Amino acid sequence: MSILIKDLKYTYMPKTPFEKTAIHDISLEIQKGEFVAVIGHTGSGKSTLLQHLNGLLLPTEGEVFIDGEKITKKNLSEIRRKVGFVFQYPEHQLFEDTVYKDIAFALKRFKLSDEEIDAKVRKAANTVGLDEALFESSVFDLSGGEKRRVAICGVLVSDPSYLLLDEPASGLDGKGRRDMLALLKKLNSEGVTIVLISHSMDDVAEVADRIILINEGTVALDGTPGEVFSKEELLASMSLDVPEVTKLFNDFSKRSGIPLPTVTTALQGREIIRMLINEGRLVL
Amino acid sequence: MTETEKYIEFNNVTFSYGTQGDETESRKRKDAVKDVSFAIEKGTFVCIIGSNGSGKSTVAKLMNGLILPTSGTVISAGYDTSDDQNIWEIRRLVGMVFQNPDNQIIATSVEEDVAFGLENIGVPREEMIARVDEALKMCGVDKYRHSEPHLLSGGQKQRVSIAGILAMRPSCIVLDESTAMLDPKGRKQVLDIVKKLNKEENITVILITHHMDEIVDADRVLVMEKGELVKAGTPVEIFSDRELISDLGLDLPPAARVFEPEDGHDFGETVLTKEQGVSVLMKKLV
Amino acid sequence: MKISLGRFVPGNSLFHKADPRTKIIWTVAMMVLVLMCRNYVEYAVAAVFVIASFVASKVSFKFILQSLKPILVLLIFTSLFNFLFYRGENVAFMMWSKPIYWESIAMSIKTVVRVVLLIISASLLTYTSSAVSITDGLESLMRPLGVIKVPVHEIAMMMSIALRFIPTFADETDKIIKAQAARGAEFDSRNVIKKVKSYIPVLIPLFIAAFKSAEDMSTAMESRCYRGGKGRTRFKVLRFSSADIVITVATVLFAASIIVLHIFIK
């Protein structure tokens, strides 16, 4: 059970003067249950890659398999039920007059009874922590964080095993951002595979188990946050940052001469400090 | 503090939507401002933070008379914003950059967009050319001067918008969540420019944001919540107020999270940036 | 995404360098002059002039063919009708035991030539001028109408903002279609009513985005001191160059020859 990508290549507007190869030579596998972050600067091709995972784009060359089944024009409906995609701006998908109807939209095409639909909508709302009192409100009156929840809910109703998200936390305030990351963590612990795109290295370090770095249309690095963020200079050459905390401890390590592992989150940073205190190297 | 040093002054300002009776319920609910008073000094770098819907954007729009207070007064650049006569001078002096880069570029080419404000205030063409040129260069976008705006990145678009304001020779720039839709690179470029304008041109900068790492260099931070000004102070004062931070659900800057005095490791100093973090650690090194 | 507006192909020809006002007036003049043509000599002169203009514009012949294509079917049909129903005096030959007259053949040829010349002329304007410059040209030409209270500035501002937003909304539409497709919306139904209905989830978010853009845009314009056309100066000014003189002189000569031919050949 996995997402398997083989020798993927995609060219925009082939055979025209505007022809541009967005991604090439990508082969990788994402196992069920992983929490993957795809990073790369704007225009690196990460969004093009993500759109191949549920058939929004079909490869110019190469193949993509979902649980062993190759994505083709013919099985899109089934693939999209299995692989949900939440876009960056919920405004791009919310359209029904009430929250409830909007969440239920994806279920329309399956011949389900009203009770079955109702059960699925309530279950999804419960998962994302959306207050049922909002069901009858207009989608356009919601706050930014609520809109995003409804958008995710509208994808979760189809019970996808894989969830793709483009910048799920951007534009949210502090609490909204933390709640969103916690929600994704929770979904992942319930067995949903998460693949997200993010520009925030701090967020990525906090939630992802694996980071795939895309540069100039192909995979440049693939590993744990610790592995990827240990290459500060390489990332800088691709105009990417490492988390602020990583820089802090790198600088400290350099100046103090104490060798330290790559620190990617505040939590790890606190552990390092505790360790240094216990070893008697730091005295408060 | 003399009168002229206060560049923007809010005196018991209240603003509520729906006073004309034609606003929807949802608009009434959010973004109202209640009895807010503060003063911003000339040449300072001030940040306004608060959760979504706390009234920060309403405060911004009150600053250059895009909306007028329901009660109380707003004095901008020495003029009362509710006095019709001064409104265009206020808007020239207090420029505003908005959130969505796509929705504020008006013209079909970069240089024409930078000239848009100058055309509106009737600057003669010869002078306009010189000012557009200067503004494009200051914002580092002169190589795109003939480009169509939709071909630029978000960060480039926002820099074009700043150039458009700069060409008007303002003394204050208000950025209303102008970095929210940008990638880290675009965000940094925009911040570098406004910081430079603040330092070198003595332009007052008011930055509305929810990226906490953007406010660590501010001279002053105003914190809004539910339409009220709940605290004003230096970044260190704001971030050392743990109760406020947790009550409002605000983020701490990443470096600060490492030094939170929770499990008994109190470093006795508020750390906001990685530089401060490194120096605190170095001090405590045995 | 790069979207070409209209059919503008950038270049550096005489026509590309000319002022849009010259090109707009040129196009109108060509329409009138081509429609004035009555006999073969006049048509020949017009054809030579149009072909010369086409060469001077350096527009690829492929593009011209492209704009002729949709009209081609229409031309074939009108010619056919001409052949079948026109009654003249000189029979050329018989087709399916129906007489085809010389007159109807002549008429068909004239119609074809006329339409082809008109389309080439109009294409030269759109292939060598961007939509923006055509708008600027129209605004400048319409300015005198301001005297009779036509809101020329406002119309031009609206057109220019519309042009500025077309690529933005095209991008937006693409994203919305993808977002809806991702949650199971299908757009390829063969049933027309179903197909129209399937676009509702795209149209509603798009309209809302458009309204939001309009609102943001008007706030941004107000914030930058926009208060209508009064007292406004212009950054961009249209200037005539030597290209305009060349085109004007050539067109005047052409017009004169058509008029002279018109008077002398009956």
User: Does the structure show a pLDDT above 70 at C18?
Assistant: yes
Mind listing the pLDDT tens digit for each residue in A149-206? Answer: 999 999 999 999 999 999 998 888 888 899 999 999 999 999 999 999 999 999 999 9
Helix (H) or strand (E) holding A249: helix A244-256
Smallest Cα–Cα separation from B110: which of B138, B166, B152, B153? Answer: B152
A92 lies in the same domain as A228: yes
C234 touches B: beta carbon within 8 Å: yes
Tell me how far apart the alpha carbons of residues A247 and B277 are, in angstroms, rounded to a whole number.
10
Q: Mean pLDDT across the stretch B120-145?
A: 95
Q: What are the φ and ψ backbone dihedral angles of A57, each rounded to 5 degrees? A: -125, 145
Q: Mean pLDDT across the stretch A230-241?
A: 93
HSE, side-chain direction, 13 A CA sphere, residue A33:
4
A146 lies in the same domain as A228: yes
Predicted local confidence at residue B31, as pLDDT: 59
A143 lies in the same domain as A199: yes
Q: Mean pLDDT across the stretch B246-251?
A: 87
Predicted local confidence at residue C231, as pLDDT: 85
Predicted local confidence at residue B261, as pLDDT: 80
Tokens, residue C131: 């939509």
CA distances to A9, A153, A169, C72 from A179, in Å: 36, 15, 9, 62
Smallest Cα–Cα separation from A122: which of A112, A111, A134? Answer: A134
Query: Taking the CB of residue C145, how many other CB atoms lie within 10 A of it?
Result: 12
Cross-strand pairs, A197 = A38, A166
A128 lies in the same domain as A206: yes
B226 lies in the same domain as B259: no
Among C2, C185, C186, the residue with its CB nearest the CB of A18 is C2
C216 touches B: beta carbon within 8 Å: yes
Residues of C near A (Cβ–Cβ under 8 Å) read 2, 172, 175-176, 178-186, 200-201, 204-205, 208-209, 212
B205 lies in the same domain as B269: no
In chain B, the percentage of residues whose pLDDT exceeds 90 is 75
Q: Mean pLDDT across the stretch B232-243?
A: 92
Smallest Cα–Cα separation from B114: which of B195, B169, B43? Answer: B169
Q: Is C13 exposed, middle or buried (0-12, 13-18, 19+ CB in 10 A)?
A: middle
Mind listing the pLDDT tens digit for each residue in A2-18? Answer: 999 999 999 998 877 77
What sign results for the dihedral spanned by CA atoms B51, B54, B55, B59? Answer: negative
Q: Mean pLDDT across the stretch B219-242?
A: 94
Q: CATH no. for residue B166?
A: 3.40.50.300
Amino acid at C59: V
User: Does the structure show a pLDDT above 50 at B202?
Assistant: yes
Predicted local confidence at residue B3, as pLDDT: 46
Q: CATH no. for residue A129?
A: 3.40.50.300
Number of independent structural domains in chain B: 2
Q: Which residues of chain B lie closer than 8 angstroms to A251, CB-CB?
A: 274, 278
Is A68 within the bounds of a domain?
A: no
User: Does the structure show a pLDDT above 60 at A87?
Assistant: yes
Residues of A near B (Cβ–Cβ under 8 Å) read 41-43, 138, 140-141, 143-145, 170-178, 199-202, 239, 241, 243-245, 247-248, 251-252, 255-256, 266, 269-270, 273-274, 277, 280-284
Amino acid at C217: M
Q: Mean pLDDT across the stretch B10-19?
A: 85
A149 lies in the same domain as A273: no
Predicted local confidence at residue B173, as pLDDT: 97
Is A284 within the bounds of a domain?
A: yes
Sequence ranges of the domains in chain C = 14-129+240-264, 142-223
A249 lies in the same domain as A213: no
Identify whether the C-beta of residue A13 lies closer than 8 Å to the C-beta of residue A60: no
User: Does the structure show a pLDDT above 60 at A77?
Assistant: yes
B273 lies in the same domain as B211: no
- The reply to whether residue B253 touches residue A244, judged by beta carbons under 8 angstroms, is yes
Query: Taking the CB of residue C265, how many other CB atoms lie within 10 A of it?
Result: 11
CA distances to A70, A96, A213, B107 from A62, in Å: 10, 37, 20, 42
B48 touches A: beta carbon within 8 Å: no
A153 lies in the same domain as A275: no
Mind listing the pLDDT tens digit for each residue in A20-50? Answer: 899 999 999 999 999 999 999 988 999 999 9
Average pLDDT, chain C: 86
DSSP assignment, residue A238? T
Radius of gyration, alpha carbons of chain A: 21
Q: Mean pLDDT across the stretch B189-216?
A: 94
Predicted local confidence at residue B209, as pLDDT: 93
Mind listing the pLDDT tens digit for each residue in C160-180? Answer: 898 889 889 999 999 999 999
B192 touches C: beta carbon within 8 Å: no
Tell me how far apart the alpha carbons of residues B179 and B154 are, in angstroms, rounded to a whole number.
9
Predicted local confidence at residue B58, as pLDDT: 93
User: Does the structure show a pLDDT above 80 at B96?
Assistant: yes
Which of A14-18, A239-243, C184-188 has the lowest average pLDDT?
A: A14-18
Residues spanned by the domain of B282: 252-286
Task: Name the closest residue on chain B to residue C171, using Cα atoms.
Answer: B150
Q: Which residues of chain C lie closer than 8 angstroms to A51, CB-CB?
A: 178
Predicted local confidence at residue A108, as pLDDT: 83
User: Does the structure show a pLDDT above 50 at A257?
Assistant: yes
B189 lies in the same domain as B278: no
Tell me how far apart the alpha carbons of residues C117 and C47 are, in angstroms, rounded to a whole number.
7
- The reply to whether residue C216 touches residue B100, judged by beta carbons under 8 angstroms, is yes
DSSP string, A194-209: EEEE-S-HHHHHHH-S
Q: Mean pLDDT across the stretch B143-160?
A: 93
Is A203 within the bounds of a domain?
A: yes
Tell me how far apart the alpha carbons of residues C3 and A17 are, in angstroms, rounded to a whole number.
12
Tell me how far apart the alpha carbons of residues A227 and B253 are, in angstroms, rounded to a whole number.
23
Q: Which residues of chain C lie closer than 8 angstroms to B151, CB-CB?
A: 2
B119 lies in the same domain as B154: yes
Exposed e or buried b for every residue in B143-167, given b needs 16+ CB within 10 A? ebbeebbbebbbbbbbbbbbbbbbb
User: Does the structure show a pLDDT above 60 at A88?
Assistant: yes
Chains that touch C (3 or more CB pairs under 8 A): A, B
Identify whether the C-beta of residue C167 lies closer than 8 Å to the C-beta of residue B150: yes
A255 lies in the same domain as A174: no
Amino acid at C175: K
- Strands A162-166 and A83-86, by their bridges, are parallel
Tell me how far apart the alpha carbons of residues A247 and B170 are, in angstroms, rounded to a whole number.
37
Distance from CA of C53 to the nearest CA of A (A): 26
Tell me how far apart the alpha carbons of residues A78 and C149 are, in angstroms, rounded to a whole number.
60
Exposed e or buried b for every residue in A64-78, given b needs 16+ CB within 10 A? bebeeeebeeeebee
Tell me how far apart the alpha carbons of residues B18 and B20 are, in angstroms, rounded to a whole number.
5
Average pLDDT, chain B: 90
CA distances to A148, B45, B182, C21, C253 from B75, in Å: 38, 18, 31, 47, 66
Which of A105-109, A254-258, B210-214, C97-101 has the lowest average pLDDT?
A: C97-101
Residues spanned by the domain of A111: 33-50+78-232
- Strands A218-223 and A69-70, by their bridges, are unpaired
Q: How confident is the model at residue B18 (pLDDT cuts 50, 70, 90)?
A: low
Q: How confident is the model at residue B101 (pLDDT cuts 50, 70, 90)?
A: very high
B234 lies in the same domain as B256: no
Smallest Cα–Cα separation from B176: which of B161, B193, B197? Answer: B161
Amino acid at B9: E
- Strands B228-233 and A69-70, by their bridges, are unpaired
Q: Mean pLDDT across the stretch C92-110?
A: 80
Which of A179-183, A217-221, B176-180, C66-70 has the lowest average pLDDT?
A: C66-70
User: Does the structure show a pLDDT above 70 at A57?
Assistant: yes
User: Does the structure show a pLDDT above 80 at C83?
Assistant: no
Q: Which residues of chain B lie closer than 8 angstroms to A281, CB-CB?
A: 285-286
Identify whether the C-beta of residue A229 lies closer than 8 Å to the C-beta of residue A204: no
- Strands C98-101 and C91-95, by their bridges, are antiparallel
Residue showing tokens 């954007």: B57
B258 lies in the same domain as B221: no
Number of independent structural domains in chain A: 2
Predicted local confidence at residue A62, as pLDDT: 96
Tell me how far apart the alpha carbons of residues A108 and B178 are, in angstroms, rounded to a whole number.
39
Predicted local confidence at residue B43, as pLDDT: 94
Q: Which residues of chain A lie closer than 8 angstroms to B268, CB-CB?
A: 284
The counts of H helices and E strands in chain C are: 10, 2
DSSP string, A138-196: -GGGS-HHHHHHHHHHHHHTT--SEEEEESTTTT--HHHHHHHHHHHHHHHHTT-EEEE
Tell me how far apart the alpha carbons of residues A66 and C116 are, in angstroms, rounded to a whole number.
54
Q: Mean pLDDT across the stretch B171-176?
A: 96
Is A201 within the bounds of a domain?
A: yes
| pLDDT top residue among A195 and C39 | A195
Angle at B179 between CA A187 and CA B255, to 5 degrees: 65
Identify whether the C-beta of residue C54 lies closer than 8 Å to the C-beta of residue C68: no
Helix axes C20-36, C40-57, angle to 10 degrees: 160
A116 lies in the same domain as A185: yes
Q: Mean pLDDT across the stretch C145-162?
A: 88
Q: Interface pTM (ipTM) of the complex?
A: 0.89
Tell me how far apart the alpha carbons of residues A198 and A86 are, in angstroms, rounded to a whole number.
13
Cross-strand pairs, C195 = none
Helix (H) or strand (E) holding B27: helix B25-29
- Strands B94-97 and B172-176, by their bridges, are parallel
Identify whether the C-beta of residue C166 lies closer than 8 Å to the C-beta of residue B109: no
Query: Taking the CB of residue B229, how many other CB atoms lie within 10 A of it?
Result: 22
- The reply to whether residue C205 touches residue A94, judged by beta carbons under 8 angstroms, is yes
Radius of gyration, alpha carbons of chain C: 25
| pLDDT top residue among B250 and B113 | B113
User: Does the structure show a pLDDT above 60 at C6?
Assistant: no
Question: Please, which residues have CB within 8 angstroms of residue C94's CB and are 6 or more apart in sequence?
Answer: C100
User: Does the structure show a pLDDT above 60 at B25?
Assistant: no
Predicted local confidence at residue B27, as pLDDT: 45
Q: How confident is the model at residue C192 (pLDDT cuts 50, 70, 90)?
A: confident
Q: How confident is the model at residue A224 (pLDDT cuts 50, 70, 90)?
A: very high
A273 lies in the same domain as A192: no
Among C178, C208, C209, the residue with its CB nearest the CB of A56 is C178
Tokens, residue B142: 């002169």
Q: How confident is the model at residue C197 (pLDDT cuts 50, 70, 90)?
A: confident
Mind listing the pLDDT tens digit for each residue in C217-250? Answer: 999 999 999 988 888 898 988 889 999 999 999 9
What sign results for the dihedral spanned by CA atoms C83, C84, C85, C86? Answer: positive
- The reply to whether residue C179 touches residue A85, judged by beta carbons under 8 angstroms, is yes
Q: How confident is the model at residue C4 (pLDDT cuts 50, 70, 90)?
A: very low
Q: Which residues of chain B lie closer than 8 angstroms to A141, CB-CB?
A: 24-26
| pLDDT top residue among B241 and B27 | B241
- The reply to whether residue C175 touches residue A95, judged by beta carbons under 8 angstroms, is no
User: Does the structure show a pLDDT above 50 at C5?
Assistant: no
Cross-strand pairs, C53 = none
